[in-house]
Amino acid sequence: MAYRATRVRGRRWQMERNLLRPFIVRHWRRPVASIASSTWDEHRAQRSKQKTRRGLPPRDITVNQELERTKHLFSWAVDADMLAANPLARCKPVKTRRRRESWFTQEQAQRLVDHAHRLRWEHQQITFRALVIVMFDTGLRISEALSLRWDRFTLNGTTSVLGKGAKTRVVAFTARAIEAMNSLGRRPDNPHVFVRWKTGKVWSGRAVRCWFAQTIDAAGLHHVKVDGDIALVPHLLRHSFASAAEERGATPDMIRVALGHEKLATTQLYLHKHQQDAAQRIAEIMSPRLPPRRAASAFEEPTPILFTSKRDRGFS
């Protein structure tokens, strides 16, 4: 309760509370002195047998986030002189699979746009087309795209968005993206771009992910998913933007600024051109070449001579 009193209420606290709940519910009667690194190992093993709302056990990345928030809780208790040491200080997250190897080409992104008619309502179809075009042409995240407002666009087609870590960056929109957003129309009661037609509220990221899954099935793009990746999600359009921009001549530093990354190493995870160049170079090296002309063997018959004398050659 003391830790809860120090947290700001809202959406962020709800997410943090959901990450703390599994460990606290299982061990809230247990003395803190008996909690050690082995306690978290047992908790992780039990969590792998539980089922979420989708009927599947939680993913490793979710359990790692639970570990991070639980360690933060104990660290706060140490700073507040409630505990002498953090019992989970030595616990380390497990290695997880990264969902960063799959990406869409421009033709595949266009197939998503073309199959938007498979969605139920016409307004959903128009909204999904505009979202795919905007995210592919600008590299915006879902939350950033859904937070776009008409009253913050400049005459040059630029606007500022608030990304991760409360970092603001300027985003320029292509003529195609502006045309797609204009097709949505504007509501006088809500300045946001992507709003519901009936209620006037902003679309949720959950709804966009559902549309994306339906359109992937309709377009038959499951083959895009690389072995080892978890699933095809809208965030891959951000990776596609980075790969397409690099292929068209943009420098990694320009792409870093466009994506809002602080370090170039983070941007390199989004780029795939160097892998393609290396693969093509290896293919050129390993491609079969014409065999060298070898000397005639002594056992082979000599090539017949067509002319044997000067008269036969036309000389007198």
Give the domain ranges of the chain. Answer: 2-79, 106-274
Predicted pLDDT at 195: 94
Predicted pLDDT at 133: 96
Structure tokens at 197: 């037609």
- Range 136-160 average pLDDT: 93
- Given a cut of 80, whether residue 295 has pLDDT beyond it is no
Q: Which of 60, 119, 121 is nearest to 92 (CA)?
A: 60
CATH superfamily, region 106-274? Intergrase catalytic core (1.10.443.10)
pLDDT in tens, 283-293: 878 877 656 55
- Given a cut of 80, whether residue 232 has pLDDT beyond it is yes
Confirm if 254 and 261 have CB atoms less than 8 A apart: no
- Given a cut of 90, whether residue 281 has pLDDT beyond it is no
Predicted pLDDT at 175: 93
Predicted pLDDT at 305: 45
Give, to the nearest 10 degrees, the angle between helix 106-114 and helix 236-247: 140
Q: Which of 63, 67, 141, 136 is nearest to 103 (CA)?
A: 136
Q: Give the C-alpha separation, 54 to 62, whole Å.
A: 14
Helix (H) / strand (E) containing 162:
strand 158-162
Q: Give the C-alpha separation, 200 to 211, whole Å.
A: 19
- Given a cut of 50, whether residue 313 has pLDDT beyond it is no
Task: Tell whether the torsion through CA atoms of 29, 33, 37 and 42 is positive or negative.
Answer: negative
- Range 198-206 average pLDDT: 90
- Given a cut of 50, whether residue 173 has pLDDT beyond it is yes
- Given a cut of 90, whether residue 159 has pLDDT beyond it is yes
- Amino acid at position 231, single letter: A
Classify residue 268 by burial, with Cβ atoms within 10 Å: 0-12, 13-18, 19+. Answer: middle
Q: Give the C-alpha separation, 228 to 175, whole Å.
A: 36
